Amino acid sequence: MARAVSTRRTAVFTIAAWIIALVIFFPILYTIITSFKSETEAIQGFNLIPSGTVESYVAVQSQSNYFKPFMNSVILSVGSTILALLIAVPSAWSMAFSPTNKTKDILMWMLSTKMMPAVAVLVPIYLLFRDFGLLDSRIGLTAMLTMINLPIVIWMLYTYFREIPGEILEAARMDGASLWGEIIYVLTPMAVPGIASTMLLNIILAWNEAFWTIRLTTTDAAPLTAFIASFSSPQGLFWAKLSAASTLAIAPILIMGWFSQKQLVRGLTFGAVK
């Protein structure tokens, strides 16, 4: 009897999970479906069965070169993630294992920078970029994306590191491990799931960042967010083309997310259940 109830409950939860997942995923699914419609079909209301034409993809590719913004997206998201981890791992380590009475304040201060609306600092940042010759440069944008995501990266790593028993590090120290040896050979391997999920999340955040990537680039460093924005039109119906551009832009990160979902879930739930 108990087993039947449990099976029924599992089935209900599974169905509920599927429905929620479908609802969340539906806008992306409909974007993909619309990308395989003609412009006329796209405006003819709700329809889940496209004619299967690839004319929008052909038009998107002929109107603008996909490869350049794609490469920029890869360079910016991977570059900013590596840079953020290089800064965040030692920072999180020091705050997790050598906390002072100001550590909590520093963490809160870092998080508070995420609460400020980006547009409030647009002009000062733009002027800084102009004066340092960083406008439309991948170096400038990599630094910008690093700084934007650094508070989240440090917070996540701090949370993961806090779950690691300090005694293990003490033991390593007693065995003569240096500071870097302790971080690289003891701490990092234990925190790999946490670091991996932080890395993946940071890549996704950097890939999707649209405010700064659109405003600080023109042609050379413009990533896929700028590529999508170029297909939005106030006067003309280009829904199928816009959907095709969006599909092309989200496909790489969607595929990466799909293959790394195990690591992501493992990392995000790291330390959640004791």
Partner 1 sequence: MNLKTFLLGTCSAVVIAGLAQAETLTIATVNNGDMVRMQTLTDDFTKANPDIQLEWVTLEENVLRERVTTDIATKGGQYDVLTIGTYEVPIWAKQGWLLPLDNLGADYDVDDLLPAIRSGLTMDNKLYAAPFYGESSMVMYRKDLMEKAGLTMPDAPTWEFIGDAARKMTDRAAGINGICLRGKAGWGENMAFLTATSNAFGARWFDENWKPQFDQPEWKNTLDMYVKLMNDAGPQGASSNGFNENLALFQQGKCGMWIDATVAASFVTNPKDSTVADKVGFALAPDTGLGKRGNWLWAWSLGVPAGTQKAEAAQKFVSWATSKHYADLVAEKEGWANVPPGTRSSLYANPEYQKAAPFAKMTLESINAADPTKPTVKPVPYVGVQFVAIPEFQGLGTTVGQLFSAALAGQMTVDDALAQAQQVTTREMTRGGYIK
What residues make contact with partner 1 under the rule CB under 8 A?
A: 39-40, 43-45, 62-64, 122-123, 126-127, 130, 135-136, 214-215, 218-219, 222, 226, 229-238
Could you give the count of Cα atoms lying within 13 Å of 256 in the half-sphere of its Cβ? 17
Distance CA 93, CA 179 (A): 11
Residue 33: which of 45, 46, 50 has the closest Cα?
50
Q: Which residue lies nearer to partner 1 by CB, 107 or 248?
A: 248
Smallest distance from partner 1 to CB 137, Å: 11
Smallest distance from partner 1 to CB 218, Å: 5
Smallest distance from partner 1 to CB 49, Å: 18
Q: Which residue lies nearer to partner 1 by CB, 59 or 78?
A: 59
Q: Which residue lies nearer to partner 1 by CB, 93 or 238?
A: 238
C-alpha distances (whole Å) from 245 to each of 3, 47, 52, 249 are 49, 20, 16, 6
Q: Which residue lies nearer to partner 1 by CB, 211 or 259?
A: 211
Q: Which residue lies nearer to partner 1 by CB, 30 or 126?
A: 126
Q: Which residue lies nearer to partner 1 by CB, 29 or 237?
A: 237
Q: Which residue lies nearer to partner 1 by CB, 136 or 163?
A: 136
Smallest distance from partner 1 to CB 157, Å: 34
Contacts of 105 (CB under 8 A, 6+ apart): none
Q: Is 160 helix (H, G, I), strand (E, B) or coil?
A: helix
Other C-beta atoms lying within 10 Å of the C-beta of residue 44? 10
| 148 in Cβ contact with 209 (< 8 Å) | yes
Distance CA 115, CA 112 (A): 5
Smallest distance from partner 1 to CB 42, Å: 9
Smallest distance from partner 1 to CB 183, Å: 41
| 256 in Cβ contact with 203 (< 8 Å) | yes
Distance CA 50, CA 35 (A): 8
Smallest distance from partner 1 to CB 219, Å: 4
Residue appearing with tokens 């109107």: 63
Other C-beta atoms lying within 10 Å of the C-beta of residue 91? 18
